Amino acid sequence: MRLEAGDFVLPVDKPEGPTSHDVVASARRALRTRRVGHTGTLDPFASGLLLLCVGQATRLSEHLTGLEKEYEATARLGVSTDSLDREGTIVSETDDLSAVTEERVAEVLASFQGPLDQLPPQFSAKKVDGEAMHRKARRGEHVELSPVPVTIHDIALLSFERTLVRFSVRCSSGTYIRSIARDLGEAIGVGAHLTALRRTSVGRFRVEDSIAVDALDDEARVSHARVDPLSAVSHLRSLEVDDADAARLVHGQRLRVEAPGGSDESSTERVAVVHAGTLLAIGELDDGLLRPRKVFPA
């Protein structure tokens, strides 16, 4: 299927309260199309950047979900909840905060930087046996989870008010900020949970460039905020093809091409295939052989 004017990525600023699915439903109504999806869930209590893929751009979602993300978060020390956030049930509480100092908090946060194995929350969208963990948790089921590898690229203490710790995080996709709050509390020995979370960026997308949910029916504002498919996958290396090669790719044929500058021909790489200034396909380049994976013929 070809990309049309109604195929784009739309950065939206989700407010606290609605689920990510609620925002998708609002977009479907406002944009008058059923083909809308998002590229990464935000919890209902969280706010910030949610990337919506509209029309044929929904086929690009898998190439956006893995982008690194940035957050600003607030954790409350001394109180732990079962969901690791403010919406959960308190499971432990302490008044002894003698071990809590700004220096200790900063030290523990800094220790999380780099690659680490993180234990996901019991309440999460992570699926086990085909079902979201939060559904199992709400039924009282406890599932033994294994830590998963994540990377904290940057983490910094923004403010400290004894029991409230505000910090920023830039991390790999799949990182749970609620787990960082839990681990912070456990490391200090007082417990903790997340009270606020705001996603400020996904890859090159910034929340400052997003549109409010209540403005989704404003055509001018949507037009200003929308991102065309080629720009949306600008994190992928681009490969330009001529008319003849474009025709071959559209019909599913492979091409022998020179690897883009700086590419390691011994490794497989996803690339954005460009024809006449528009996105023609997402291809897989392996040892100089280009295979079309998702094609958008003009």
- Averaged over 243-252, what is the pLDDT? 93
Domains in the chain: boundaries: 8-66+205-231, 69-202, 237-295
Segment 22-63, tens digit of pLDDT: 999 999 999 999 999 999 889 999 999 999 999 999 999 999
Confidence check: pLDDT of 288 > 90 = no
The Cα 155–Cα 172 span in angstroms is 12
- Write the class of the CATH domain 69-202: alpha beta
| CATH code assigned to 8-66+205-231 | 3.30.2350.10
77 neighbors 188 (Cβ within 8 angstroms): yes
Domain 237-295 top-level CATH class: mainly beta
pLDDT at 121 over 90: no
Q: Is residue 128 predicted with pLDDT exceeding 90?
A: no
pLDDT at 10: 97
Catalytic residues: 43
141, pLDDT greater than 80: no
Supply the mean pLDDT for the chain.
Answer: 90
Whether the per-residue pLDDT at 113 is higher than 80: the answer is: yes
DSSP-assigned beta bridge partners for residue 284? 270, 291
What does the pLDDT read at residue 268? 85
- E strand segments, the chain: 8-14, 36-38, 47-54, 69-77, 79-81, 90-93, 114-118, 127-128, 131-132, 148-161, 164-171, 192-202, 205-206, 211-212, 237-240, 255-256, 269-275, 278-286, 289-295
Average pLDDT over residues 136-140: 57
Same fold, 8-66+205-231 and 69-202: yes
User: At residue 151, does pLDDT exceed 70?
Assistant: yes
Q: What is the pLDDT of residues 163-216, one digit of tens each?
A: 999 999 999 999 999 999 999 999 999 999 999 999 999 999 999 999 999 999
